[in-house]
Amino acid sequence: MVEKTTSAYVQMTPSGKEELGKIEVAPEVLEVIAGIATTDVEGVAGTRGSFASGVVERLGKKVHGKGIKTELTDQGLFVEIYCVVQYGAAIPTVAKEVQNQVRQAIFNMTSLETKEVNVHITGVQFEHQKESTIE
């Protein structure tokens, strides 16, 4: 499993632009971008978080980076996504779409190319049906 690093990712200066300084992107920013892109995919019920993120969400704050881990190595940017799919969705199709959406979102917002986007399906969420009352 990929460990989260604490250092920032240094972006390249866009081609044709004057270099004014260094641009750094915190790992948490990439996790938020990947988290939002993941939950926007049809068939994804949510991402897996920790106990702490679950408590924070119950208090009303949305945690977009939960279930996402990023690592920048010499080989490139690696993203690990832990998500739950909705019952009835085709898991290979949903996983491939998550990979495409995350890769595109990170590139569009940061110009960073991802080496790998690994999707881990950690569960299936069933529809919750309301109990009907018989009168």
Per the CB < 8 A criterion, the answer to whether 38 and 105 are in contact is no
Digit-coded pLDDT (tens) for 55-87:
444 555 455 567 899 998 889 899 999 999 999
1-10: average pLDDT: 58
Digit-coded pLDDT (tens) for 109-120:
998 999 999 999
Nearest to 102 by CA among 45, 47, 38: 38
Which architecture, in CATH terms, is 44-126?
A: 2-Layer Sandwich (3.30)
**pTM, full prediction:** 0.74
Domain ranges in the chain? 44-126
